[in-house]
Amino acid sequence: MTAPPDPNDEELLPRLRAREEAAFRLLVRRHHVRLVAVARGLSLPQEAAEEVVQEAWIAAMRNLDGFEGRSSLRTWLTGIVVLMARKAAAARRRTRTFSDLAGPDDEEGGVDADAFLADGHWREPPWHWSEVDLERALAGRQVWAAVQEAIGALPPLQASVIRQRDVEGLGARETEAMLGLSEARQRALLDRARFRIRATFERLTREAPARAMP
Amino acid sequence: MKCREAAEHASALLDHDLDLTLRARLRLHLAACAPCRRFAEQVRATRDLLRGAPAPAPDPGREDAVVAALLRGKPEPDDGP
Ligand SMILES: [Zn+2]
């Protein structure tokens, strides 16, 4: 016998309405980091994003009766975070300097222009590596840990989009509804994020000690 | 199509997000160009490695703080007395 799988979000609803601690904990563990990434993507620095998400958790759990199940609980939670993060970001813009806002580098990091000659050919073709080389380079570290680290190093909006699209596997439309980013904007951010993470993986495999002879 | 353009579209190809003409031109280029094929394959591998990566758990301290706040059901600041 294997242990029963964790209940999904919707199955947790009655326990959340009963304010059961274990249910709160499961939901927070499952969504908190992703929700903070969403808030970061809306121009909040890390600490402010954490605060907004904590407030959003409280607001959401106080208003669970307002959740009508027309969307998933995940989508509903994300919507609350987006609303509150936008409000907080606007308030910060009124009172803070621009220097502590995240985001200007979100437009960077397309295909590396330096990798190409002026005529559009590769200056230096991609290093030859595959998933196996990456695992070897990580020397026993979990690939997933390296993935999360690479996502964490992205500019905030890129990180937010790639989490929704590639990690969670949500479609462009659902992501647009959640984050309010047009599909074209998502396209640009997602491309940049994938290229950056590919480059990170390439660097990891390149920097790994030369393969030992078997 | 030049390599640079091919590389730029390698990610959209994964999402079937290219119009027919562009996709055909890209496929033609990839068929003839090993470095771009390698690049496109690596972009695909990258995307595949991300899928389903478990969300990192929040710091234990942060998780405890959020759960405690939820249990208190702390009133929102504008709730008034
Ligand atoms: Zn090429």
What is the CATH classification number for the domain harbouring A145?
1.10.10
* Cα distance between residue B70 and residue A52, in whole Å: 14
Residues A73 and A24 in one domain: yes
Domain range spanning residue A43? 9-97
Determine the pLDDT at residue A101.
44
Q: Is B65 exposed, middle or buried (0-12, 13-18, 19+ CB in 10 A)?
A: middle
User: What is the band of A95 on the pLDDT scale with cuts at 50, 70, 90?
Assistant: confident
B50 contacts A120? CB cut-off 8 A:
no
User: What is the band of A108 on the pLDDT scale with cuts at 50, 70, 90?
Assistant: low
User: What is the band of A213 on the pLDDT scale with cuts at 50, 70, 90?
Assistant: very low
CA torsion sign for A82, A111, A102, A159 is positive
Per-residue pLDDT of A124-158, as tens digits, reads: 889 889 888 998 888 888 888 899 999 999 999 99
Asked whether B17 and B8 are in contact (CB, 8 A), the reply is no
Residues A78 and A41 in one domain: yes
A7: left (phi over 0), alpha (psi -120 to 50) or beta: beta
Note whether residue A3 is domain-resident.
no
Exposure class string for B29-53: b at 16+ Cβ within 10 A, else e: bbeebebbbbbbebbbbbbebbeeb
Residues A124 and A39 in one domain: no
Neighboring chain A residues of B42 at a CB cutoff of 8 Å: 126, 129-130, 198, 201-202
In degrees and rounded to multiples of 5, residue A193 shows phi and psi of -65, -45
Note whether residue A75 is domain-resident.
yes
Residues A65 and A133 in one domain: no
B43 contacts A129? CB cut-off 8 A:
no
Taking the centre of ligand 1 as the mean of its atom positions, its distance from the CA of residue A165, in whole angstroms, is 27
Number of domains in chain A: 2
Determine the pLDDT at residue B74.
52
User: What is the band of B57 on the pLDDT scale with cuts at 50, 70, 90?
Assistant: confident
Q: What percent of chain A has pLDDT over 70?
A: 88
Chain A residue at shortest CA distance from B74: A58
Residues A82 and A161 in one domain: no
The candidate with the shortest Cα–Cα distance to A56, out of B66, B78, B63, is B66
Q: What is the pTM of this model?
A: 0.82
Asked whether B28 and B21 are in contact (CB, 8 A), the reply is no
- Whether the per-residue pLDDT at A96 is higher than 90: the answer is no
Note whether residue A4 is domain-resident.
no
| CATH number for position A42 | 1.10.1740.10
* Cα distance between residue A164 and residue A161, in whole Å: 5
Mean pLDDT confidence for A70-95? 90
Residues A85 and A157 in one domain: no
Determine the pLDDT at residue A178.
85
- Domain final residue, candidates A97, A130, A155: A97
